[in-house]
Amino acid sequence: MRSLVVAVVVSSSGFARADEPSYPIEIVDRPIVLLPGMTTLDLSEALRTSVATAMDGTMYRSSFFGDRTTTIGAAHAFGPVEVDLSVGKYASAGARLDVAPFAVAVGASFSGLYANGHYSHEQDASLAYKVHVVPEQLALFAEVYAGINERRDIVDGQRVTGTVLFSGVHGTGEVQLTRRLGVYLGATLALPFEKSDARLTNVVTLSTDLTLLFALARWDFFAGAGIGDVTRGHPTTFLSIGFTKRWGI
């Protein structure tokens, strides 16, 4: 499934110009596709509850400290193309192309094989856009995406393997509270539209998240919380903290 992490989008200002050599501290002014030559390294720790199905068909919910994930990621911008890798709950890789005022992205993620045999691998493509509603105070992101999810689910004690074609939309509002402190508020709606097996549990899902980010020099420190799978009757929850270090500009 897609992460609740904030989508990568490019601002309408396009590539960095000669008179704008610095990466903005304010989140509302950032072109989320990294400026050419920039490198980032990020580390986060997430505590989440999740619902799973055992082989005997019973459903159970994990505790926060029973489902704990450390994620490390890195990204670098080669001209207008940003390439990123991360390893955590999923191993993922992606690339984003700045085609101002839009960003085009492709990516893939792979889960491990769980004890009950479940797995989920995904490839997708997206188109995103960012608009400044109130300069230096409020910005909005919008993203549409589509992809394919290969998965194995446990349904009534049986392993069901197949593929799901899906699409979705993601929106994020950014509010600048002070020059160094900003907040992201996002929501994602995922819409599977074709399954190779109707029993697969990939269904319509709605997720929301809230993230606070504090910028200090070339560092960002963030904390977030969210609710996932709101429409499925047994929502998941998560808390996360982490940091990002930037080099290059």
Element at 126 (helix H, strand E): strand 119-134
pLDDT (0 to 100) of residue 141: 96
Which residues, including other chains, have CB under 8 Å from residue 32's CB and lie 6 or more apart?
6, 7, 8, 9, 10, 11, 103, 130, 141
Which residues, including other chains, have CB under 8 Å from residue 145's CB and lie 6 or more apart?
2, 124, 125, 126, 127, 167, 168, 169, 170
Over the chain, what is the mean pLDDT?
Answer: 85
Q: How far apart are CA 248 and CA 229, in angstroms?
A: 38
pLDDT (0 to 100) of residue 8: 36
Whether the per-residue pLDDT at 84 is higher than 90: the answer is yes
Determine the topology of domain 27-247 in CATH: Lipocalin (2.40.128)
pLDDT confidence band for 49 (50 / 70 / 90): confident
Q: Which residue has the higher pLDDT, 55 or 80?
A: 80
Helix boundaries (H) for 5-117 = none
Q: b/e for 176-186, b at 16 or more Cβ within 10 A?
A: beeebebebeb
Query: Do you know the residue count of the chain?
Result: 249
Q: How far apart are CA 249 and CA 95, in angstroms?
A: 20
Which residues, including other chains, have CB under 8 Å from residue 58's CB and lie 6 or more apart?
none
Rg of the chain on CA atoms, in Å: 19
**Token duo for residue 87:** 């390893």
Q: Which residue has the higher pLDDT, 151 or 4?
A: 151
> Taking Cα atoms as reference points, which of 168, 164, 175 lies closest to residue 4?
168
**Per mean pLDDT, which range of 55-64, 94-103, 108-117, 226-235 is the poorest?**
55-64
pLDDT (0 to 100) of residue 156: 75
For 110-120, write each residue's pLDDT tens digit.
Answer: 998 777 778 88
The residue ranges of every structural domain in the chain are 27-247
pLDDT (0 to 100) of residue 45: 95
pLDDT (0 to 100) of residue 159: 86
For 121-170, write each residue's pLDDT tens digit.
Answer: 999 999 999 998 998 899 999 999 999 999 988 777 788 889 999 999 99
